[in-house]
A and B are shown apart, each in its own frame.
Chain A
Amino acid sequence: MRAQHLTPPRVSKRFVQVWKRNFLVWRKLAITSMLGNLADPMLYMLGLGFGLGSLLPEVNGIPYITFLAAGTVCYSTMNSATFEALYSAFSRLHVQKTWDAILNTPMSLDDIVLAEALWAASKSLLSGLAILVIIWVLGLSHSPFTLWIIPLTVLIGLTFGSLGLVMTALAPSYDFFLYYFTLVITPMVLLCGVFFPVAQLPPLLQNVSAVLPLTHAIDLARPLVTGRAPHWAWLHVLVLASYAAGGFYVALVLTRRRLLT
C-alpha cells in the first residue's frame, strides 16, 4: 500500500457524468429491470406475508405482513445496491474496462467510485420506492411517516453500495462474490430482523445482530411503517452513515491500489 492511495477522497463535479452513463444504460432496459426489482421482494412479501401470516396473526402487536413489509423494504434495497456494486460494477471495472477508458479523460478514480456508490444507492431508491408503493396500495400503511423511508433507502443503498465496492475492488472474478453472500449478506438477512424480531434470537446472536448495518436500517423502517417515530433514530442513522463512509473510503483505497499502480 502506497501513501498516495491513502489520501482522502478528492472528487470533482464531473462524477455526475459517470452516474449519467450508468443511468443511460439502465434506461435502455428500464422495464425489465424494474420488473426484476419488484418480482422477487413481492413474492417474498406476499407469499410469506399471507402464508406465514395466517399462522401468526400478530408479531409485536402488528399483522405479520406489515411486520414483514418493513423488513422487505430494507432487505430489497440492500440487495439492489449489493448486486449493482458487485456484479455490475465488476463488469465495468474488470470485464469491459469501462473505468480504464474513463480514467484517460479528466475524470479521477475518486469520481468514478463516488459515482458508482451513488448509482448503487439510486438503484436502491428505485426498488425501495417500488415496495413502498405496494405497501401503500395494499393498505399496509397510510402513515405519512412512511415518506421517511424514501431517504432511508438512499442511506441503505450508500451503505451496501460502498461495502459491495470493497469486495469488487478485491475480486479476481465473479466467483469471489459468493463468499460475500455466504458470509455477509445471508447472515444479514437471517439475523437482522427481516422475517422475525431479533429478540427471538439467543443473546449471542443478538449481539452479532446489533453490529450489523441491516439491523439499524430495520430499526428505523419498522416504526416508520407502523406510523411511529423510531427510538434512537440518530444512533441508527449514525451507524449506517459510518458503514457507508468507512466502506467508501476502504473501497476507494483498494480500487486505487488495483488500478493506479
Chain B
Amino acid sequence: MSIAMLGLRGVRKSYGTNRVVCGVDLELTSGECFGLLGPNGAGKTTTLRLALGLTDPDAGEIRLMGHAVPRQAREARLHVGVVPQTDNLDPDFTVFENLLVYGRYFGLRDSEIETRIPPLLEFAGLEARADARIQTLSGGMKRRLSLARALVNDPALIFLDEPTTGLDPQARHLIWERLKRLVAGGKTILLTTHFMDEAERLCHRLAVMDRGHIIAEGSPQQLIVRHIEPQVVKIYGDGALAWAQQHGRKLCERCEQAGETIFCYTHDGDRVLTTLDGREELRYLHRRANLEDVFLKLTGRDLRD
C-alpha cells in the first residue's frame, strides 16, 4: 500500500522580486526514491526547506508525514531525517557524541540512542572511528556520518540535498550503495542532485526543476522516451562544425553545438555514421540517449551560477 509521505500543492515562494519557487506540486509515496533534478539556482534547496517547514510559503499547501507544514512542522520533523548539502557535524564532538547529542534533539533517551549507535556506525563504515574527532575524518567519512546522523531517529523519510557533491568516485559509489540499502529496507528518500548518473541509478521517479517550475516528471526511462530521440552521435575534432553545416541538420532530428562538439539526436544513428566513414579528422561516439541529454534539452546548455 502506498501512503503519502510528502505532498506539495501549488507552493510558491519569492524573495523580493525573485520568484524562487513558482507553483510546485509534488507527491511522494512510501518506499520510493524520488529525485529532484535541476541546475544551480533552480529552487531545489528552497523546496526542501519549504517541505521541512524551515521557511513559510507565500502560497500553497504542504503536508509532511501527515502533518500540515509549517504549522505542525515540529511533529512532522520527528519522523524525517535530513542530510544537508554541506556537512554541519559538530566539530566540538567525537563521532559517537555527534550521534548521541543529535538523538537527544529528537527527545530520545540516552540509553535508547546508545543502543542505536553501533548499528549506525556499522552502516556508515565508521565502527573503528567512534571516538575520532570530526576534523580527522575524510570527506567521504563525514558524509557517511551525516547520513548516519540523519538515521538516528529511525525516520521513515530521508531528505538528502546533493548527497555526493564533492566526493571522489569511490566515496560516491559507497553512498549510492548505502542509499539503495535504505530503500530496500523500506525507507522513502527525497534527494536533490545535478548528477544524472546518480539520479538514473537510484531514483524510481524524478522531477526536473528549472527557474522555480517543475518542467518534467516521470521515471528515468519515461523521461528519456518522452523527451528525447533514442540515439546520440557526439562528433568532435577539426571539421566537426563544417560537417554539421553540411550534413548535420539533414541527417538527424536535432543537431546541437556545445563548444567544438556536435550532438546529433536521432532515431537512426547509422545514417549519421555512414557520412562519418573515412573522415579521419572527425572523432565520434555513438550511444543511447541518457538522462543527461534530457536534462540539457529541458534546461538548456547555458551556464548557471
Cβ of B209 within 8 Å of any chain A Cβ, yes or no, is: no
Contact A96 B91 (CB under 8 A): yes
Closest residue of B by beta carbon distance from A10: B74
Cβ of A198 within 8 Å of any chain B Cβ, yes or no, is: no
Q: Mark A1-41, 1 if CB is under 8 A from B, else 0.
A: 01010000000101001101100110010000000000000
Q: How far is the CB of A203 from chain B (nearest CB, A)?
A: 48
Contact A104 B90 (CB under 8 A): no
Contact B88 A100 (CB under 8 A): yes
Q: How far is the CB of A110 from chain B (nearest CB, A)?
A: 11
Cβ of A97 within 8 Å of any chain B Cβ, yes or no, is: yes
Contact B54 A103 (CB under 8 A): yes
Contact B84 A100 (CB under 8 A): yes
Q: Mark A90-121, 1 if CB is under 8 A from B, else 0.
A: 00000011101111111110000000000000
Contact B105 A106 (CB under 8 A): yes
Cβ of A133 within 8 Å of any chain B Cβ, yes or no, is: no
Within 8 A of A (CB), among B134-159: 153
* Residue from B55, B82, B86, B92 having most chain A Cβ neighbours under 10 A: B92
Contacts of A186 in B (CB 8 A): none
Q: How far is the CB of A179 from chain B (nearest CB, A)?
A: 27
Interface locus among B96-104, B176-184, B233-241, B256-264: B96-104
Closest residue of B by beta carbon distance from A3: B56
Which chain A residues have a beta carbon within 8 Å of chain B's beta carbons? 2, 4, 12, 14, 17-18, 20-21, 24-25, 28, 96-98, 100-108, 259-261
Which chain B residues have a beta carbon within 8 Å of chain A's beta carbons? 15, 52, 54-56, 74-75, 77-78, 80, 82, 84, 86, 88-93, 97, 101-102, 104-107, 153
Contacts A97-B84, A104-B52, A106-B106 given; 6 further ones with Cβ under 8 A?
Answer: A17-B105, A28-B92, A101-B88, A103-B54, A105-B153, A106-B75
